[in-house]
Structure 1
């Protein structure tokens, strides 16, 4: 990906989200509660997990833990993983009864076939195209057969460097948009079945999408 420094994007992402952790947590605190489509998507995901017999669910790129907590409220045994230590610290403070740990989706430190679901909401947007198959491969590896996958992402076919973010704090992260057909192809290539695709705010400057899949 032009402009992405090999080996540096993970460090840049970690430092950026450490910097904005408090401002980001305050901004998105009620994001799920205030959006019926996001709530519906999480209910579909939780239902898929529970219908499959339940089990632990990894919220990968969990940030301050608001989505992990919402899943827990739906009866899912959810835990969070995030690259940013400051985000994990915030998640532990705001949701003390839940499990959060520092980790990278590029080297997901979970045993094979150990989880019933993987959720990655807008956390793949900073992953370069050439690394994304590795990340999706880890998701497939840690999921049990028939396990549920849900991915949220920005829709488009371009990337940009974000240098200022939440609360006006400096950041250095590349934001990658992907077309639904491209994302679906990547997910299928990693060994998943695509069950549904939801396009959010299609007329917005930056549409969003949520993909629901299942490990083959």
Structure 2
């Protein structure tokens, strides 16, 4: 059984959703990042960047236990372990990897900055909030254009969708109305209606 170390954040939800969709047995170990639990030595041993999520799989590739940190790496590991949500066809696989990297490099760090600047004093946040809000909306626009021509971001449902969904889940905190991005709204509603996704978001991560 896989051990999931996570908290109720977009990156944590990516993994609980993926585990549910893949049908893998797992148990949750909440890591209370509001109390600094991510800095405890036991957690650092499996996540040296002291960030959630992380997993420990007792049945690793060679039959021995393996720990994996960074949400994108975890999604790739789980997809390869199960043979699901990451196509074997190289052309289709490239599309999944492109959108996974798009999420990791932009649609996560930028909305995350919006979260940050919403939490600081008004006098200190105006410039940063404007800058990152504009970039976040641009990224939603990129996603909307893509989904205008595809049911899912890489064609078929994949780990890239799970990665992006973890952040789209917080669209209200990004000050984004999905009515402004109708293709994203359609995609979001379809994913959130999936039983596996619903179970992934219902997992208690705190």
* TM-score, L = length of structure 2: 0.30
More helix as a share of residues: 2
TM-score, length basis structure 1: 0.29
- Greater strand proportion: 1
